[in-house]
Structure 1
Amino acid sequence: MRVLVTAASRHGSTREIAAVIEQELQTMNFECDLKEPRDVESVEGYDAVIVGSAIYVGQWLGEARDLIERVGPAMKERKVWLFSSGLADTPSKDANNTPALLARMKATGALGHRHFPGKLDVLQLSLAERAAIMAARGKYGDSRDMAAVRDWARSIGESILDQRTISA
């Protein structure tokens, strides 16, 4: 079973979450490809797809939104999960419960969405990003829970395997 894992990440922490997902699925004997969204031309040949994005100002990054626009209809023929990563410990209404998220889920046929707390390193931010974070009272530091990421990836792998057993 082949799985595509892709995530848009401005400073790398969401990409690190995607890498943990890929690694966990590999321990379950899935053949995985970890790609940048801009490098995904097709989902042909994949049994499942996991798409993630960092959230900035309540929105997915453009690179992830563009991927959904380009290949979303083809994703409907596969098992799809979405994830977001942002500063909040829990998803805010603006970030993950918006009509945009529901539209992404519908466009891809996603079976689920998960929000993970993110990482904020002030040294990687531009002056404009720092101002936005200060205005939103964002917390600096690494709030990612990689054990939760691994658990979620394992549940996806189990779901894929269950479907294979049922349809076999």
Structure 2
Amino acid sequence: MKVLVAVATRHGATREIAESVAAALGTALTDAGVRSQVEVRDAGLVHSVEGLDAVVLGSAVYLGHWLEPARKLAESFADELGRVPVWLFSSGPVGEQKRPAEEPVVVEDLVRRLNARGHRLFGGRIDRRTLEFPERAVVAALRVADADNRDWPTIRAWGREIGTSLARLERSVS
């Protein structure tokens, strides 16, 4: 089973989420006796989804929107992605809340268009040392402190949940 975890990130925090999801997903498939190849790739570097059995697509969220590479991947391959199991995730925002309260603007439409099996919104990370000047200015204006609100046990559990679901699908087809 070939699974792609595609991710759009600016500073690497969302990619770390994607890598954790991919590792947990792959372990769940292996534990279920399903041979698999799980790859994490930058969304902007995905030029084909042919031959994939499932896709997890995630993006960092800035001002309520996914990053362009993730949106473009979803738009460019909407028909193909609609024919395989797809899950979506978003990372951010950060702040006082440990878990973001609002869904990113673009996600509802993508869930419908891609017939996604689900969407998860995970907390993000702000580290001013990694930000460019305009981003630091926005963070300062919003009075957002450096924080890492990623809930690793929840992220890994979601990856295992996807792997278990794919293993059941594989068994039902075999």
Of residues 157-166 and 43-52 in structure 1, the stretch that sits farther from structure 2 once superposed is: 157-166
Question: Where does residue 44 of structure 1 map in the other structure?
Answer: 50
Q: CA contact under 8 A between 1:54 and 1:85: conserved in structure 2?
A: yes
Question: Where does residue 13 of structure 1 map in the other structure?
Answer: 13
Alpha-carbon distance in structure 2 between the residues aligned to 1:66 and 1:92: 25
| Runs of 5+ unmatched residues, structure 1 | none
Alpha-carbon distance in structure 1 between the residues aligned to 2:151 and 2:68: 25
Alpha-carbon distance in structure 1 between the residues aligned to 2:148 and 2:99: 14
Higher relative contact order (CA 8 A, sep 6+): 2
Question: Where does residue 64 of structure 1 map in the other structure?
Answer: 70
Within the alignment, does 1:90 sit opposite 2:99 as a pair? Answer: yes
Question: Where does residue 151 of structure 1 map in the other structure?
Answer: 157
Counterpart selection for 1:133 from 135, 139, 144: 139
1:102–1:87: structure 2 CA closer, same or farther, 3 Å change rule?
closer
SS of the residue corresponding to residue 77 of structure 1 reads: coil
Deviation at 1:140, TM superposition (A): 1.0
Of residues 135-144 and 16-25 in structure 1, the stretch that sits farther from structure 2 once superposed is: 135-144
Question: Where does residue 23 of structure 2 map in the other structure?
Answer: 23
Alpha-carbon distance in structure 2 between the residues aligned to 1:67 and 1:167: 28
**Matched residues, percent identical?**
39
Q: Number of aligned pairs?
A: 165
Letter paired with 1:157: G
Within the alignment, does 1:102 sit opposite 2:108 as a pair? Answer: yes
1:61-81 Cα offsets, whole Å, 9 max, x none, are 111111111112210110000
CA RMSD in angstroms, aligned pairs only: 1.5
Alpha-carbon distance in structure 2 between the residues aligned to 1:140 and 1:80: 32
Counterpart selection for 2:129 from 117, 123, 126: 123
Alpha-carbon distance in structure 2 between the residues aligned to 1:139 and 1:47: 40
Alpha-carbon distance in structure 2 between the residues aligned to 1:91 and 1:75: 27
Letter paired with 1:8: A
| Runs of 5+ unmatched residues, structure 2 | 31-35
Deviation at 1:105, TM superposition (A): 1.1
